[in-house]
Amino acid sequence: MEHNANIKKAISVEGLVSLIIIGVFFTYLCSIMGVVNMFNTLISTAHDLLINTVFFIMGITVLAGAFGSVLSEFGIISILNRLLSCLMKPLYKMPGAAILGVVTTYLSDNPAIITLANDKGFKRYFKKYQLPALTNIGTAFGMGLVVTSFMIAQQSPIGESFVLPALIGNIGAVIGSVVSVRIMLYFTKKEYGTDEMAVEGSDKSFNMLKYREVREGNIGSRLLESLLEGGKSGVDLGLSIIPGVLIICTLVMMLTNGPSATGLYTGKAYEGIGLFTFLADKLNFILHPMFGFSSYEAVSVPITSLGSVGAAIGLVPKLLKENLVGSNDIAVFTAMGMCWSGYLSTHVAMMDSLKCRKLTGKAIISHTFGGLAAGISAHWIYELWMNVL
């Protein structure tokens, strides 16, 4: 048989070890939640994520795809690239057009930037090594407007305003995004080099950075065609993210959340064993100097944002009501919620959509450090503002 590095024995140590790990993991879950409750929660959580999260994201990607396609068709991306190159290049080592991804994801959610990245009019500004980093820069600002508005609107038990902490959290998210993108670019340069363009221009008779292609027809037909084509790419993207969201986010939720409000397991969606919260309690001596959390319960918010920032911010009102968090925590929640914004549940699908699946691990590692940098920065900026300025 011809040697093939991708062929292994049908039965090997790898399979046996995997079987043991899976068995131990689910036995552990069942021992705490009960077999019936565990499977009901698993299925109910995945179903709820599909109905209320995936289709919500698909709605975003369709609208964002249509919007981005129109901006590309009528040259607005070209203008943004020219105006903002002076800002994006020194900070991120990215073209000015990347700012459109920042704005789009801030107003919507992480996958919106991938819809843009599938548009040739947008990709033509990027080198090949820069394209995978769009996953990181887009995720760092995902649902930014929602998170910021939500934090500002919260009621403090002592009547303090959360406007300043939320704004500081945005600054922290920017710092985290720079860290994440720069680390990712280090990996992608080694993989692709720095010369090849994301869209090859060898078949074009013009300079793609100075000129752009447009669709045939009058303004009305070009507008309609760009809207429909962009929206169709959004549908394709919405379907492609289903496995990542359902599998990874479900597991994160079950390892982070606790039982129902009564303290019992009922098999409803989003119940869990609270393992991550338990570990955070044990690591509080490290977490407090880094993030300044007011209580170990506060760590549940950034941990939950690993899978879903929407679920994470839903924890904040209860923590505030019980006086377990304060202004510093809000700043850190905003920074880490924005920067991480469910990256464990979307990075796999986003990198797959960019045809960079082999760099998924590098993207996740880069963004992990980016989110930590965002939270640490927000904490110390808040401390500096309150105690020095």
Dihedrals phi, psi of 272, to nearest 5 degrees? -165, -175
pLDDT at 353 (0 to 100): 80
For residue 5, the one-letter residue type is: A
Report residue 387 as tokens.
Answer: 């105690």
Please, which residues have CB within 8 angstroms of residue 197's CB and are 6 or more apart in sequence?
124, 126, 127, 128, 208
CB 62 within 8 A of CB 231: yes
Helix (H, G, I), strand (E, B) or coil at 39: helix
Report residue 311 as tokens.
Answer: 């679920």
CA distances from 288 to 280, 282, 323, 356, 385 (A): 10, 11, 17, 36, 18
pLDDT at 44 (0 to 100): 93
- Report the alpha-carbon angle 176-182-187, nearest 5: 130
pLDDT at 242 (0 to 100): 80
pLDDT at 81 (0 to 100): 67
Dihedrals phi, psi of 197, to nearest 5 degrees? -80, 155
CB atoms within 10 A of CB 349: 26
pLDDT at 201 (0 to 100): 56
**Per-residue pLDDT in tens (0 to 9) along the chain, 389 residues:** 455 656 888 888 988 999 999 999 999 999 999 999 999 999 998 998 888 877 876 787 788 778 878 887 888 877 876 777 788 889 999 988 888 888 878 877 787 787 777 777 778 889 999 999 999 999 999 888 888 888 888 888 888 899 999 999 999 999 999 999 999 999 999 999 988 888 765 445 455 556 667 788 888 888 888 888 888 877 877 787 687 678 877 887 788 778 988 889 999 988 889 887 788 778 888 888 999 998 877 887 898 788 778 778 877 888 898 898 999 999 999 999 999 988 887 787 788 888 888 899 999 999 999 999 999 999 999 999 998 76
pLDDT at 232 (0 to 100): 85
Nearest-angstrom CA–CA distance, 91 and 99: 11
Nearest-angstrom CA–CA distance, 284 and 290: 10
CA distances from 182 to 40, 78, 118, 306 (A): 42, 24, 22, 20
CB 368 within 8 A of CB 376: no
**pTM above threshold 0.85:** no
Q: Which residues of 89-128 are buried (b: 16+ CB within 10 A; e: fewer)?
A: eeebbbbbbbbbbbbbbbbbbbbbbbbbbbbebbbbbbbb
